[in-house]
Amino acid sequence: MFQTGNVELWDITALCHAIQVVSKQIQNSGGTTDINVDNAVADIKDIRNEISHDKKAELCDDDFEILWDEIEDIIKTFGEDVHEIKKLKENLNELGQTKTAADHGSEFTRLKEAANKLFKERKYSEAIKVFNEILQLPNISPPQHHQAEDNLYPITVLINELRNEDVQLLLNSIRKLSTIALAFSVERTRKELIQFFTDTIYDKDEILLVLAEQLGNFTPLVGGSDYVHCLLPLLENLASNEETVVRDKAVNSLRKIADKHSVAALEEHFVPMILRLARGDWFTSRISSCGLFSVAYPRANPAQKTELRNAYSALCSDDTPMVRRAAASKLGEVAKVWEKDYLKSELLRIFEDLSQDDQDSVRLLSVDPGIQMVTLLRNESELATVKQALTNLIEDKSWRVRYMAAEKIVQIQEAYANKITTEEIVTLYTNLLKDAEGEVRDVALMQLQDFCSGLPIENKTKVIIEQILPVIKPLASDANQHVKVSLASVVMRLAPSLGEKETVEHLLAIFLSMLRNDTPEVRLNIISSLDKVSKVIEQNELTNSLLHAIIELAEDGKWRIRLAIVEYMPLLAEQLNQQSFEEKLLKLCMTWLTDYVFAIREAVTNILKQLSDKFGVDWAVQHIIPKVTELSKDANYLHRMTCLFSVKALAQSLDKDRVKKHLLPIIKKLAEDPIPNFKFNDAKSI
C-alpha cells in the first residue's frame, strides 16, 4: 500500500487490528515485539479514525500537511525508505485532487444537464436559477465557469436578438422579455434593460405593440412598487405613438401598473406623466391621457386633483375631434371617481357640451356617459338636464347617433328605472322603431324582447298591445329586408309575456304573414321561433293556424328552410296526437328520406328515433320500417345509403327481437350491394 498509494485496496482499521492481534500472539508465545512499532500501528489507526469521523468531506491543504508530518514520523518507525515516503505523499496528493475534481465535475455535469433540460421545456426562470447555482460551486475550474456562462446561451441569444434587424427574431425576443429580465438582477433590469428600450428606436408597429404589452407585467422584475415608476418614461413614449393599437396597449399597461405605485410615487411620477400627456403638442399623447385619469384621480392629493380636473375639461373641449372622442368615451369612468360636487358642477356641463358637439362621432360616444350620469344623479333638476340631453341624442339628426341610442335603449331604460314614466321611455323606444333609417329600426327591433321584459309588470301586457305592437305590425312588410329578418327573430319571443289569448289575437297574424314572406331568412327565423309559440298556443290552435303554413314550408325551394322544418318535427309530434301526425305529417317525413340534399336526409334519419320513442316501437314497425325496407331496394345508391343510416338510428329504439326480425334482414341485403362503400358502412352499422 505504501508503495502504490492505493488506499482503496486496504481497510486500514482491519489491517491495524490484524497487526495488533499478531503482535499480541507473538508476545503470548514468549516472543518479543518492538514497542515502538506497536505504538505506531495504534497511532495510524487513531489518525485514520479522526479523518474518517470528521464531518467535513475533505481536508484543506494546511490540515493535510499537519497530519502528514505525524504520519511521516510513524512510517519511518516501520523502517520505510525516505524516498518511498515522499513518493507516497505525492501519490496521495494526486489522488485527492483527482477525486475532488471528479466530485465537482460530476455535480457540474448533473446541474448543467438539468438546466439544459429546463431550457428545452421553456422553464426559463428555473433554468437560470440552476445555472446560477453552477456558478456558485466551490473549486469550479475556470473552463467550467466559462462553460456555465456559455450555457446561458438562450438568454444571450434573446438579448442579441433585441438588436436584430429581422422582425420575427426581434418579436420572439421581446415576447421573452420577462425571461431576459430574470437573467438580470432587478437593478440591472432597471438601469440597463429598460434604459436600452428607452434609447432604442423601433420603427415596426408590431414590435412596439408587443413591447407595450410586456411592460405591463414588469412590476416585480424591476423591484416592485418602489421602482415601478422606472417603466413610465418608456410607456409614456409608447402612449404617444402614431399607431392606435400601440397607444391603446401602452395605456392598458399604464392602467395596470397604476395601482402598483405607492401614493407618494403616484403623486411624484404618475400624475405628472398624465399631465404631460394631456398637454402634449401632438394629439396622440392627449388621446392616450384620457384613459388614465380614472385610475390616478382617487389617490391624487387635492392640488393634483384640481389639475387633473382642469386637464380633463380641456381635453373635452380640445380642437381635435379625435381627442374629444377619446375624452367622451372615458367620461363614464371619470364620473365614477369624481366627487359628487364636481360631478354636478363640472362634469354635467362637460356632458352637455359633448352631447351637443358638432361632430356626430363625438355625440354618439356621449350616450354611454349619459347612462352613467343618470345612474349617479338623484336631483330632479340635474336628471332633467341629462334626460333632455339623452332625448336629443335619441332624436339626433345623425342616424349614427340614433343607432347608438337604439343599441343602448335597454341600458337607458334600466338606468332611469322609476326616474322616468313608462309613457316617456316607451315613446322614446317607439320613435326609434319608426325611424327613417332602416339600420336604426333594425337595431331597435333587436332590443324588443329585453325592452318589453323591463316594463313594469302591472301594465306590461297593456303597454305592449296598445303602444308597441301597433308600431311593430307595419314592420312585417318593411321595405328593408334586414328589418323584417330582425322582426322575425324576436316577435314571437313576446308570446310568453303576453300569454295564449293575446298571442293568438295579436301575434299570430304577424307570425303567419311572415311565414309566407318572400325572404328565406325571414321564414327561417320564424321557424326557429316555433318552440316559443308551441309553449303558449294549444294544440288545436296550432293545428288550425300554423300547420298548413308549416306543410307549405316543408316543400320550400330553399333547403335550409326545409331543414329547419325537419328539425322542428319532434316538437310538432309532441303537440299533435298520433292520429293527427299520421294524417298530416308522416307522409312528409317519409318523403324527406329521398330529398336531394344530404343534410336533410341525414336530419330525417336522426328524428326517426325520436318519433319511435314518442309513438312506440310497434308504431315504428308499422309505419317507418316498411318505408325503410322499400328504400333498401331503391335504384339510387344514395337512397339505399339513407336506408342504412335509418336502420342504424332505429336500432337504438327497437328491442333485440324486433331488430333481429325487421332490421337485420335489411343489413344483410345491403351487405351484398355492389357499391364498395356500402360494405364499409354496413360493417359500421353492425
**Three state DSSP letters for 169-189:** HHHHHHHCHHHHHHHCCHHHH
**Residues in Cβ contact with 40 at an 8 Å cutoff, skipping those fewer than 6 apart:** 74, 77, 78
Kindly calculate the radius of gyration of the chain based on its CA atoms and give it in whole angstroms.
44
What pLDDT is stored for residue 1 in this prediction? 46
Q: How far apart are CA 541 and CA 108, in angstroms?
A: 86
Residue pair 590/627 in contact (Cβ under 8 Å)? The answer is yes
Q: How far apart are CA 119 and CA 114, in angstroms?
A: 9
Helix (H) or strand (E) holding 286: helix 283-289
Helix (H) or strand (E) holding 195: helix 194-199
Q: pLDDT tens-digit profile of 457-466?
A: 888 888 888 8
User: Which amino acid is present at 590?
Assistant: M
Tell which residue, 234, 343, 239, has the closest CA to residue 289: 239
Query: What are the angstrom distances between the C-alpha of 607 and each of 279, 569, 638?
Result: 68, 8, 19
Residue pair 218/178 in contact (Cβ under 8 Å)? The answer is yes
For the chain (686 residues), the mean pLDDT of every run of 10, in chain order, is 48 58 60 66 68 57 68 69 68 54 58 68 62 62 54 51 67 73 74 75 78 84 84 88 89 90 89 91 90 90 91 91 92 87 84 89 90 81 84 91 92 84 89 91 91 86 89 88 87 80 80 78 76 65 66 78 80 73 80 85 84 83 83 78 80 78 75 64 56
Q: How far apart are CA 412 and CA 402, in angstroms?
A: 13
What pLDDT is stored for residue 272 in this prediction? 92
* Residue 83 CB coordination number (10 Å): 8
What pLDDT is stored for residue 78 in this prediction? 64
Residue pair 221/194 in contact (Cβ under 8 Å)? The answer is no
Helix (H, G, I), strand (E, B) or coil at 310: helix
**Residues in Cβ contact with 228 at an 8 Å cutoff, skipping those fewer than 6 apart:** 218, 219, 222, 257, 260, 261, 265
User: Which amino acid is present at 679?
Assistant: K
Task: Provide the sign of the torsion angle of the four alpha carbons 25, 28, 34, 40, taken in this order.
Answer: positive
Q: How far apart are CA 532 and CA 529, in angstroms?
A: 5
624 alpha carbon, distance to own chain's centre: 48
What pLDDT is stored for residue 446 in this prediction? 92
Tell which residue, 370, 379, 427, has the closest CA to residue 404: 370
Q: How far apart are CA 177 and CA 158, in angstroms?
A: 8
* Residue 651 CB coordination number (10 Å): 18
Burial class (CB in 10 A: 0-12, 13-18, 19+), 62: exposed
User: Phi-psi category of 223—alpha, beta or left, where left has phi over 0 and alpha has psi -120 to 50?
Assistant: left
Query: What are the angstrom distances between the C-alpha of 41 and each of 78, 236, 644?
Result: 9, 81, 98
Query: What are the angstrom distances between the C-alpha of 344 and each of 225, 341, 365, 372, 393?
Result: 35, 5, 20, 13, 20
> Helix 167-175 vs helix 153-161: angle between axes, to the nearest 10 degrees?
120
What pLDDT is stored for residue 513 in this prediction? 82
Q: How far apart are CA 102 and CA 97, in angstroms?
A: 8
For residue 423, give the C-alpha cell.
309613457
The residue behind cell 506497536 is 38
Residue pair 385/352 in contact (Cβ under 8 Å)? The answer is yes
CA geometry: angle 303, 307, 308, nearest 5 deg: 115
What pLDDT is stored for residue 5 in this prediction? 46
> Helix 302-316 vs helix 321-329: angle between axes, to the nearest 10 degrees?
130
What pLDDT is stored for residue 593 in this prediction? 82
**Residues in Cβ contact with 454 at an 8 Å cutoff, skipping those fewer than 6 apart:** 410, 413, 414
Query: What are the angstrom distances between the C-alpha of 134 and each of 51, 482, 516?
Result: 28, 69, 80
User: Phi-psi category of 499—alpha, beta or left, where left has phi over 0 and alpha has psi -120 to 50?
Assistant: left
Query: What are the angstrom distances between the C-alpha of 496 and each of 472, 502, 529, 547?
Result: 17, 10, 12, 20
